[in-house]
């Protein structure tokens, strides 16, 4: 198991380095940086001056390593647009996005897995149909519309929860529900399919032949095997939510990473874009690593590879 974790860790680090190269290149492929920083009305001398001042005249490999060394120390330079350092911007936004993502994934998991199991056990009954309907609605409904509906009902009419902002934990409930409902259907359906397949397997028949209780058959013998693909999906979805929750963040005026990325892209604020891409990628890699380790704990056959 330790060997497995070590190997996976090496792979993860390899992927992270690749991503760092891509995210570094992103900046340089966008055109001549010195010209971009100097602005359109500068002279050729001024551009050269900036090129030397920012170290852009050095070989690209050297530039990459000096960038990587500062990136590892969480120094991503200054934003072109804001007066803050990139790290200040990110450390302000990242907790909001992480809180939202974790809450949403928590809600999605706690609904998706029990509902998926129930739908599989009660296959072709009204419970199964209801679960399917909930999933289809979640997949079909645009998330901004659902978010707005939540605001209208719970904030505007009932005054139970705030409509936007991020000052207390109460502010995160509605956006987490909206985002969680968006992530839930895929997990629910995967759980249901997995459970149906596993419940029809030979080893479940063996477990039944031993006279075990239905609880033991379903939760001990079936769920553990059925949930393996769901773990991988959950990791991907959380990674997706970190970068792609921009719609929900806009609707609830949460100043998260998604909005920062959006603002930075529209303003050509490359250092910020670069840092956001790198951080989201590193989180993504870390999540996949965690998912791999969880799956290896669930299924011993995965530990060998």
Partner 1 sequence: MSRVLEVKNLQVDLPTANGTLRAVRGIDLSVEKGEMLCIVGESGCGKSMTSMALMGLLPKKAKVSADKMEFDGLDLLSLSKKKRNGVRGLRMSMIFQEPMTSLNPSYTLGNQLCEGIMRHKGLTKDKAEERAIYLLERAGVPYPEKRLSQYPHQLSGGLRQRVMIAMALMCEPDLIIADEPTTALDVTIQAQILRLIRELQQEFGTAVVFITHDLGVVARIADRVAVMYAGQVVETGLTNDIFNNPSHPYTQGLLSCIPIPGKTAPGSHLESIPGVVPSLIGDLAGCAFRNRCKHATKGCATDTPTLVEFTAPSSHQVRCPVSVESLKEAV
Q: Which parts of this chain interact with partner 1 (CB under 8 A)?
A: 201-203, 205-213, 216, 220-221, 224-225, 298-301
Query: How far is 67 from 58, CA to CA, in rounded Å?
Result: 12
Cβ atoms 183, 109 nearer than 8 A: no
CB of 213 to partner 1, least distance (A): 7
CB of 211 to partner 1, least distance (A): 3
* Closer by beta carbon to partner 1, 58 or else 224: 224
* Closer by beta carbon to partner 1, 159 or else 301: 301
3-state secondary structure of 85: strand
DSSP string, 250-274: HHTT---HHHHHHHHHHTT-HHHHH
CB of 99 to partner 1, least distance (A): 33
CB of 214 to partner 1, least distance (A): 8
Nearest to 105 by CA among 189, 192, 183, 191: 183
**Cα 238–Cα 180–Cα 91 angle in degrees, nearest 5:** 50
Q: Which two tokens stand for residue 72?
A: 């590892």
Nearest to 191 by CA among 290, 112, 293: 112
* Closer by beta carbon to partner 1, 41 or else 214: 214
CB of 8 to partner 1, least distance (A): 19
3-state secondary structure of 57: coil
Q: CB atoms < 10 A from the CB of 122, how many?
A: 14
* Closer by beta carbon to partner 1, 90 or else 227: 227
Number of H helices, E strands in the chain: 15, 0
* Closer by beta carbon to partner 1, 46 or else 216: 216
Cβ atoms 251, 149 nearer than 8 A: no
Cβ atoms 97, 88 nearer than 8 A: no
Q: What DSSP designation does 78 have?
A: B
CB of 227 to partner 1, least distance (A): 10
* Closer by beta carbon to partner 1, 40 or else 211: 211
CB of 16 to partner 1, least distance (A): 30
Query: How far is 77 from 222, CA to CA, in rounded Å?
Result: 51
* Closer by beta carbon to partner 1, 194 or else 239: 194
């Amino acid at each position: 198991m330790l060997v497995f974790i070590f190997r996976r860790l090496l792979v993860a680090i390899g992927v992270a380095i690749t991503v760092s190269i891509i995210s570094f290149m992103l900046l340089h492929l966008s055109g001549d940086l010195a010209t971009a920083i100097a602005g359109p009305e500068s002279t050729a001398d001024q551009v050269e001056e900036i090129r030397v001042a920012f170290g852009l005249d050095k070989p690209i490999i050297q530039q990459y390593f000096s960038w990587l060394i500062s990136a590892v120390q969480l120094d991503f330079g200054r934003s072109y647009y804001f007066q803050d350092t990139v790290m200040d911007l990110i450390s302000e936004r990242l907790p909001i996005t992480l809180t939202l993502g974790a809450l949403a994934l928590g809600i999605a998991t706690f609904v998706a897995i029990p509902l998926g199991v129930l739908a599989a056990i009660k296959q072709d009954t009204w419970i199964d149909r209801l679960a399917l309907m909930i999933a289809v609605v979640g997949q079909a409904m645009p998330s901004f519309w659902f978010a707005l509906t939540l605001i209208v009902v719970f904030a505007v009419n009932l005054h139970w929860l705030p409509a936007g902002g991020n000052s207390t934990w109460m502010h995160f409930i509605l956006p987490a529900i909206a985002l969680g409902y968006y992530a839930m259907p895929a997990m629910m359906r995967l759980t249901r399919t997995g459970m149906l397949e596993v419940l029809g397997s030979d080893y479940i028949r063996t477990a039944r032949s031993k006279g075990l209780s239905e609880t033991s058959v379903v939760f001990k013998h079936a769920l553990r095997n059925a949930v393996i693909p769901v773990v991988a999906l959950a990791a991907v979805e959380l990674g997706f939510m970190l970068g792609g929750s921009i719609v929900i963040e806009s609707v609830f005026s949460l100043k998260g990473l998604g909005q920062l990325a959006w603002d930075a892209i529209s303003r050509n604020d490359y250092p910020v874009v670069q840092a956001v891409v790198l951080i989201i990628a590193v989180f993504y890699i870390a999540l996949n690593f965690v998912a791999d380790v969880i799956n290896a704990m669930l299924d011993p056959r995965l530990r060998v590879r």
